[in-house]
Amino acid sequence: WNWVVHLFHGNLGESYQYHEPVASLIGQRAENTLWLSLFTMVLTYLIALPMGMYAGRHEGQLPDTFIRIYTYVTYCIPFFVILVVGLWIFGYVLNWFPTTGSVSATASGFGSTVLSRFYHMLLPGLLGALFSTVNIVQYLRSEVIDAKRSDYVKTARAKGVPEKAIYRHHIFRNSLLPIAAFGGYSITGLLNGSIFTESIFSYPGMGLLFVNSISYRDYTVITALVLLFGILNLLGTLLSDIILGVVDPRIRIK
């Protein structure tokens, strides 16, 4: 009862491990998690949308076969395995990317800090995006295959509409509806799924804070983060409904 009363006053208690207010502690880590999640989401859609469109347009051909093999293999491999292997190859063997932290200790000034933050997010963001593209590519490919056989596409072809215009203005827009419905879930899913990424890369975000809190039995932080993750899931549902209403005006409630 005391915890609930304090919650509505913005007081989440004090961390046993860090000896500072939980709200302040989460606020410091939330920025890193937010930037990493947004970066991963942008990369996910930049990779998945062209792949899904290309696979659906060239159904049954060699590029489509390669893309389907990629999605099946990626879907079968656990996420943490992709992260560990990617970290070992690109972080330790090739030494292309940093393996820990969010900003280099030698970064000074705004520009240097931004570049260092981007450099630290690049590898975990790319690995997370490669894993997250699977469902989007499969859904979009199926939608494109169904759409290109529909009556309105046949009518557009009969009228002499160029093939590129058909895919750009008819097939692509209509195929995006189910993808848009998952937009809100993608954002909150990345925020909640940051536990694996941040733990493996020692990235100081909410996911790593959650794991460390469990290790040290920091119950005030654990309780606050569980509450926050639950709220994010609810917001993801609401955001998906809003996005779907914006993309498809037919389902808007008058």
pLDDT digits (tens, 9 = 90+) for 71-104: 888 888 888 888 888 889 998 888 888 888 777 7
110 compared with 135, residue with greater pLDDT: 135
User: What average pLDDT is seen over the chain?
Assistant: 82
Is the distance from CB of 200 to CB of 87 less than 8 angstroms? yes
Q: How far apart are CA 185 and CA 68, in angstroms?
A: 23
What pLDDT sits at residue 235? Answer: 81
Q: Quote the pLDDT of residue 151.
A: 80
pTM of the model: 0.81
What are the residues facing 21 on neighbouring strands?
A: 14
Higher pLDDT, 108 or 27: 27
Q: Of 245, 121, 116, whose CA–CA distance to 183 is shortest?
A: 245
Lowest mean pLDDT of 59-73, 156-170, 237-251, name the range.
237-251
Q: Tell me which residue has tokens 């900003």.
A: 103
Q: Are 68 and 52 in contact (CB under 8 A)?
A: no
Give the position of tokens 């330790």.
92
Instruction: Please report the pLDDT score of residue 184 as a whole number.
Output: 66
pLDDT at 248: 67
* pLDDT-above-90 percentage for the chain: 0
Q: What does the pLDDT look like over 205-238, one tens digit per residue?
A: 888 888 888 888 888 888 888 888 888 888 877 8
Task: Give me the count of residues in the chain.
Answer: 254
Helices (H), 8-109: 22-57, 62-76, 79-86
125 has pLDDT over 70: yes
Check residue 244 and give its pLDDT. 73
pLDDT by residue (tens digit) across 153-203?
788 878 887 877 887 777 777 777 777 767 666 666 666 657 888 888 888
- How many Cα atoms within 13 Å fall on the side-chain side of residue 142? 8
Q: Which amino acid is at 159?
A: K
Domain architecture of the chain: domains with CATH: 2-251 (1.10.3720.10)
Q: Which residues on neighbouring strands pair with residue 109, listed in sequence order?
A: none
Q: How confident is the model over 116-134, as a mean pLDDT?
A: 85
- 254 pLDDT higher than 60: no
Q: What Å distances lie between residue 37 and 24, 43, 44, 50, 62, CA to CA?
A: 20, 10, 10, 21, 33
Label residue 250 by pLDDT band (50, 70, 90): low
Tokens of 108: 């000074």
- Positive or negative, the CA dihedral 152, 157, 162, 163 is positive
What does the alpha-carbon distance between residue 54 and residue 145 come to, in Å, rounded to a whole number? Answer: 11
| Lookup: tokens for 40 | 């991963």
pLDDT of 243 higher than 60: yes
pLDDT at 8: 82
| pLDDT band, residue 253 (cuts 50/70/90) | low
- Residue 202 Rama label (left phi>0; alpha psi -120 to 50; beta): left
